[in-house]
């Protein structure tokens, strides 16, 4: 495999501040098992949704790029590429060439970065508010003085005092907009802050010219008030989006920054996570979150694994148990052998899945991107047409015509359109995570809202996935203990279920041997005792069950004893099926298990259409038939044999206990022991679609009304600033209804 390296900033002809923190860049690249490479970066000066297509487009144009996605909430840029086709330096150069500053991805710095952004906006807002209040007082004096024949000298003095207050305030308070606009122009592109900056500069510059010429009218009050209202809108937008902040960012707060490491000589050392590697041993005290993925080497405890499994009941852990970063150690000290840290942990993988879901290039997102992409040229054309039209045909002077153009520049900002989809996606993903559903594809949410048919697998999906004895009350305790003592020597699922149910038993005095495919045997009092299938234990076929699994205990001189096992349905499976049917969805069961077992579970859960002994190809064939008939199918399955069907279905879901490949193929992962989160996902999917359409209507309706009014000269720059900010906040608050709404009770 070729070595993956990351070039230094001085290898490129780029601005000095394009790269930050890459003293050891190769440490940030992860090489996957298939030879491809991944890298996560932070785009420091990413402020608006309109920048996302620019960044992703610049990278995706390069050969060998498999994936590039930007998350607006966390500012993370995730890159996935083939090292033999493109150098990582070319990837970073493409982004920096657009005028964006890059830094290594540091989850711990995100919270402080967000706080810094908030403080900077508050400082700018305070300066703009102070200047706006004072300049407005002077402007009111000038306006009233003009009516009462104020002298030119007094009027000029007031104008100069206004200029001395307004111009420094504009220079300071306008920095959030000016920096963003300058970055875009350096990258030979336009963003939504370019027309805003142009409007503020034009209003201030025109006022300064009038002041120098002793003119009657200046617009310093409009410039600073414009900035004041724009900053209020941006601050409120930042805060309201913070209420629906990425669930992935919240998960990242669970990551440990350091751990207590046990050295080879038995000493304890506190080390940062970056210096801990696989094979090392860390100590996790009671009450601490596990900082790494690993395997327990010493100690026993109870773990709160709700983050990973959704299960609220603590899980017992002993030597050999696998544990994951983010889980909580509840009762006693554990010594853990590290298997993965940082970006290699399960928690990091969940974070990446969450971010991918929040910023997925879904159909509605692509539509919003296309509409926002034509914004910059369109708004400048409209502003120019307004200025020239009023100047040539409206009988206005250049000052009044320019003010109308400034209002058009401001009122057409597409912030609301850019936030229409991401705000809903963030709220939906966060709500579903709290409801026990891990969303892997935001496009899946759109598709889930259109589903009309649900197909379930049986084992591990509708059922618990493990057998339980059903007739122990009919069996003598001595026989139970004898069978369990023999079963302890086997890892067969039925043997383990028997041991788990009967409880601890003594070890047999004689050796237990296992006959593959048959069962277990041992010599007791000179006679062979067997525990296994009916043929091996000499049981007639007529006594077997086609529905239940079974083990037989055969002791010479006695009638064989039957241990029956059944994979019981999940506790809420029947209620979930009933809920789906009540809402008009067709429900089917396709199982690879025996037909009698499939028939029994279908009858127990009220599923009318079912089929057993179905291979993966049979399941896909059924999906294709339904799709050809115009049905949109949700496939729910957990096994390796379900992965092809999950990938082929219109939408798909998989339980948390499912095989890795099934979870990879699914759009949603259902956590916990029940199926009721599936109903929550379907409710949220329908609500998300409705809110996205509402947000589009709000954004487009705002522009349909505001733009003609601005071009007609009926909207001042101040009113335009208020309207633009209000539209963005309205869209975000509408999306927040999804996360603030009361979740319906579990089925």
User: So which residues are the catalytic ones?
Assistant: 457
- Write the DSSP symbol of residue 23: S
Phi and psi angles of residue 263, each rounded to the nearest 5 degrees, phi first: -80, 170
- Other beta carbons within 10 Å of 254: 18
Query: Rounded to an integer, what distance in angstroms lies between the CA atom of residue 673 and that of residue 310?
Result: 8
SS3 740: helix
Report whether 530 contacts 554 (CB < 8 A).
yes
Pairing of strands 334-340, 281-284: antiparallel
Sign of CA dihedral 491, 492, 493, 499: negative
Q: Which residues are paired to 610 by β-bridges? A: 589
Listing from the earlier edge strand, what are the strands of the sheet with 258-262?
Answer: 268-272, 258-262, 281-284, 334-340, 293-298, 322-323
The burial class, CB within 10 Å (0-12 / 13-18 / 19+), for 358 is buried
The burial class, CB within 10 Å (0-12 / 13-18 / 19+), for 711 is buried
- Write the DSSP symbol of residue 109: H
SS3 569: strand
Pairing of strands 102-104, 37-43: antiparallel
- Other beta carbons within 10 Å of 57: 14
Number of alpha carbons in the 13 Å side-chain half-sphere of residue 566 = 16
Torsion angle in degrees (nearest 10) through CA of 693, 697, 703, 709: 180
SS3 89: helix
The rounded radius of gyration (Å) of the Cα atoms in the chain is 33
Query: Rounded to an integer, what distance in angstroms lies between the CA atom of residue 644 and that of residue 648?
Result: 6
**In whole angstroms, how far apart are CA 745 and each of 424, 427, 435, 575, 676?**
22, 19, 10, 12, 9
The burial class, CB within 10 Å (0-12 / 13-18 / 19+), for 269 is exposed
Torsion angle in degrees (nearest 10) through CA of 530, 531, 532, 538: 40
First to last CA, the chain: 51
Report whether 529 contacts 482 (CB < 8 A).
yes
Query: Rounded to an integer, what distance in angstroms lies between the CA atom of residue 727 and that of residue 176?
Result: 20
Q: Which residues contact 504 (CB under 8 A, 6 or more apart)?
A: none
HEC readout, 29-67: EEECCCCCEEEEEEECCCCCCCHHHHHHHHHHCCCCEEE
Report whether 598 contacts 589 (CB < 8 A).
yes
| CA 323 to chain CA mean position, Å | 23
Report whether 591 contacts 565 (CB < 8 A).
no
**In whole angstroms, how far apart are CA 391 and each of 204, 206, 215?**
20, 16, 19
Report the candidate in 79, 49, 100 with the shortest Cα–Cα distance to residue 413: 49
Q: Which residues contact 115 (CB under 8 A, 6 or more apart)?
A: none
Report whether 38 contacts 80 (CB < 8 A).
yes
């Amino acid at each position: 495999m070729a070595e993956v390296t990351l070039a230094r900033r001085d290898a490129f002809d780029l601005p000095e501040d394009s790269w930050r923190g890459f003293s050891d860049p190769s440490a940030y690249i992860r090489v996957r098992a298939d030879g491809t490479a991944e890298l996560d970066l932070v785009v420091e000066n990413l402020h608006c949704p309109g920048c996302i297509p620019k960044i992703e487009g610049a990278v995706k144009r390069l050969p060998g790029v498999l994936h590039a996605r930007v998350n607006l909430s966390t500012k993370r840029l995730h890159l996935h590429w083939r090292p033999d086709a493109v150098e990582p330096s070319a990837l970073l150069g493409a982004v920096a060439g657009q005028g964006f500053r890059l830094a290594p991805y540091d989850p711990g710095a995100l919270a402080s970065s967000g706080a810094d952004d908030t403080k900077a906006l508050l400082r700018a807002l305070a300066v703009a508010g102070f200047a706006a209040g004072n300049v407005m007082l002077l402007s009111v004096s000038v306006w009233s003085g003009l009516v009462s024949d104020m002298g030119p000298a007094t009027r000029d003095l007031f104008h100069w005092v206004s200029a001395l207050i307004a111009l420094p305030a504009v220079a300071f308070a306008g920095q959030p907009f000016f920096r963003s606009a300058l970055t875009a122009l350096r990258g030979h592109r336009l963003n939504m802050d370019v027309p805003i900056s142009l409007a503020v500069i034009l209003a201030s510059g025109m006022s300064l010219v009038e002041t120098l010429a002793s003119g009657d009218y200046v617009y310093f009050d409009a410039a600073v008030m414009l900035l004041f209202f724009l900053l209020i809108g941006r601050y409120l937008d930042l805060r309201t989006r913070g209420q629906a902040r990425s669930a992935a960012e919240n998960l990242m707060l669970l990551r440990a920054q350091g751990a207590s490491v046990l050295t080879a000589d038995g000493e304890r050392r506190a080390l940062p996570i970056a210096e801990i590697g696989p094979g090392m041993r860390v100590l996790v005290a009671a009450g601490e979150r596990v900082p790494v993925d690993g395997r327990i080497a010493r100690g026993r405890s109870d773990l709160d694994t709700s983050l990973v499994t959704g299960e609220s009941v603590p899980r017992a852990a002993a030597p050999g148990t696998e544990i994951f970063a983010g889980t909580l150690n509840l009762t006693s000290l554990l010594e853990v052998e590290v298997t993965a840290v940082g970006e290699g942990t399960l928690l990091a993988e969940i974070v990446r899945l969450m971010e991918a879901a929040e910023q997925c290039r879904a159909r509605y997102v692509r539509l919003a991107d296309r509409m926002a992409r034509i914004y910059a040229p369109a708004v400048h054309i409209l502003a120019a047409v307004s200025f020239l039209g009023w100047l040539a045909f409206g009988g206005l002077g250049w000052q009044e015509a320019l003010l109308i153009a400034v209002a058009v520049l401001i009122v057409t900002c597409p912030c609301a359109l850019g936030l229409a989809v991401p705000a809903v996606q963030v709220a939906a993903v966060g709500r579903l995570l709290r409801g026990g559903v891990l969303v892997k594809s935001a496009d899946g949410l759109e598709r889930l809202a259109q589903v009309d048919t649900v197909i379930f697998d049986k084992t591990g999906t509708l059922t618990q996935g493990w057998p339980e004895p059903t007739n122990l009350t009919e069996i003598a305790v001595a026989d139970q203990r004898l069978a369990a003592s023999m079963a302890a020597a086997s890892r067969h699922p039925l043997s383990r279920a028997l041991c788990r149910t009967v409880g601890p038993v003594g070890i047999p005095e004689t050796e237990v041997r296992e006959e593959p495919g048959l069962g277990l045997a041992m010599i007791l009092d000179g006679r062979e005792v067997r525990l296994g299938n009916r043929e091996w234990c000499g049981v007639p076929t007529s006594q077997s069950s086609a529905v239940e699994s079974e083990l037989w205990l055969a002791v010479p001189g006695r009638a064989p004893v039957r241990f029956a096992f059944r994979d019981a349905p999940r506790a809420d499976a029947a209620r979930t099926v009933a809920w789906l049917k009540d809402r008009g969805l067709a429900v089917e069961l396709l199982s690879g298990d025996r037909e009698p077992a499939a028939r029994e579970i279908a009858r127990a859960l009220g599923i009318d259409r079912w089929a057993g002994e179905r291979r993966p190809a049979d399941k896909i064939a059924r999906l294709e038939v339904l799709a050809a008939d115009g049905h949109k199918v949700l496939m729910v399955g957990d096994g390796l044999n379900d992965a092809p069907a999950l990938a082929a279905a219109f939408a798909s879901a998989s339980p948390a206990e499912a095989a890795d490949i099934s979870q990879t193929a699914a759009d949603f992962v259902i956590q916990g022991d029940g199926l009721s989160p599936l109903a929550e996902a379907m409710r949220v999917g329908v609500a998300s679609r409705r809110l996205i359409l509402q947000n589009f209507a709000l954004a487009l309706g705002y522009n349909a009304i505001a733009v003609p009014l601005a071009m007609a000269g009926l909207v001042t720059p101040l009113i335009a600033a208020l309207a633009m900010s209000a539209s963005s906040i309205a869209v975000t608050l509408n999306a927040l209804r999804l996360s603030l709404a009361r979740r319906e009770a579990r089925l």
